[in-house]
Amino acid sequence: MLSLNHHLKALVFALTLILLAAQCNTPPTPPMPGTPDGPVLPIALLSPHSGELATFGRMTRNGSIMVFDAWNQQGGILGHPINWAIYDTNCDFESGRQAVQQAIDDGYTFIIGPTCSEAAIAAAEIAEAEQVLMISPTATHPLVTVDGQGQTRPSVFRAAYVWSWQAQAAARFAMNNLQATQAAILTTPNDDYGATLADAFSQSFAGQGGKIVRQDTYTPGDPALPEKLTAIAQTGATVIYLPVDVATANQVGGQRNNLGLNNITLIGSDSWDTADLDRTATAGSYFTTHFSMNNPAVREWANAYKSGFAIEPNTLAALGYDAASLLLNAMAQANSLEPAAVIETLETGEFSAITGPIQFDPQHNPVKPVPIVYIKEGKINFIDVITP
């Protein structure tokens, strides 16, 4: 079974990641804010600040800091300037546990982060026990906002959609936009992420009147891939749902082309959202993502981000921005800086966000539209947003 660490390295992963590592002119981290006179609103930011994931942490924090700066320029929130502190948090359980405990010991009752799912699950357990409000910008594992018994963690929310949400959007897109009535599913064995998405896609597609005609697994390098794809083609499927890592997606796309099966459309997941995607092998395919720079609705915000940080934003930046916006707008709507009042407002309110308008479901997952993008001529093109 793949570890949670794999999956939000795979969502710090897919959330648009490797693209950044290739950038040569990475801007410096903005300076830490000074301590203003008078009462302040302290917020802890839990994200990677050192090591191999520092670039990803910086992008997420920059998104949040952009929100804090905008509010501080208008006098803060409810008369309180916003002051933040960074707690270095990697992608492992112990790191998340230690960072959130230190933040709570230091007096913080509002926390944005952690970035990775494994660290976020650990932090969520303590945040719930200590009744502090935590919003993870990017963690997508289901157990961030619910416990092992399926009970909602009262004080924990997320800005990124949960795994199954994007699969439901993909199924609706396949049925309504691609007019598919028969679909196949191909996943990697022993992969919780792929299995969860596959189940959600299957249920949603069948619930709309479609039929899953074949479901199979593929291990990268397995020589049986041509036979598996040929068998899928013989079922009459016009779509293959492929919630797999990018290396597998590249292999499946390339083999589909070699077999001349271009009448079968591949639909991927957010794990495809990386610079390692082979845009030739996967040309003509679609995938779900959290944020698209080509969406006209976010262009003005993206330009403002680039002006402030000298680099174009990616998904991590957008979700960091949204997490901070959710927190401060909920405070404004509640007219309170008490965690209990802010939590109640998050549960019942409606919020504007860069990644789409947000309400929260009973498990504190955001209900929002999912961007769909299309691969054509080496480019990723925004197509539409789909709400399951």
pLDDT number for residue 7: 45
Same domain assignment for residues 244 and 301: no
pLDDT number for residue 51: 85
- 220 in any annotated domain: yes
Same domain assignment for residues 233 and 94: no
- 365 in any annotated domain: no
Same domain assignment for residues 132 and 196: no
Same domain assignment for residues 63 and 140: yes
Question: Across the chain, which distance is largest between two alpha carbons, in Å?
Answer: 71
- 362 in any annotated domain: no
Same domain assignment for residues 183 and 271: yes
pLDDT at 11 over 80: no
Same domain assignment for residues 171 and 235: yes
- 140 in any annotated domain: yes
- 66 in any annotated domain: yes
Domain count, the chain: 2
Same domain assignment for residues 175 and 26: no
- 195 in any annotated domain: yes
The predicted model scores a pTM of 0.87
- 366 in any annotated domain: no
Same domain assignment for residues 92 and 177: no
- 352 in any annotated domain: yes
Q: Model confidence over 257-308: pLDDT tens digits?
A: 999 999 999 999 999 999 999 999 999 999 999 988 888 888 899 999 999 9
The pLDDT of 131-150, averaged and rounded, is 96
Same domain assignment for residues 140 and 196: no
Same domain assignment for residues 261 and 184: yes
pLDDT band of residue 252 (cuts 50, 70, 90) is very high
Same domain assignment for residues 211 and 309: no
The pLDDT of 74-99, averaged and rounded, is 96
Residue 317's domain comprises: 4-161+296-356
Report the CATH number that the domain containing residue 175 is assigned in CATH. Answer: 3.40.50.2300
Same domain assignment for residues 277 and 300: no
The pLDDT of 15-21, averaged and rounded, is 34
pLDDT number for residue 38: 60
Per cent of the chain over pLDDT 70 is: 90
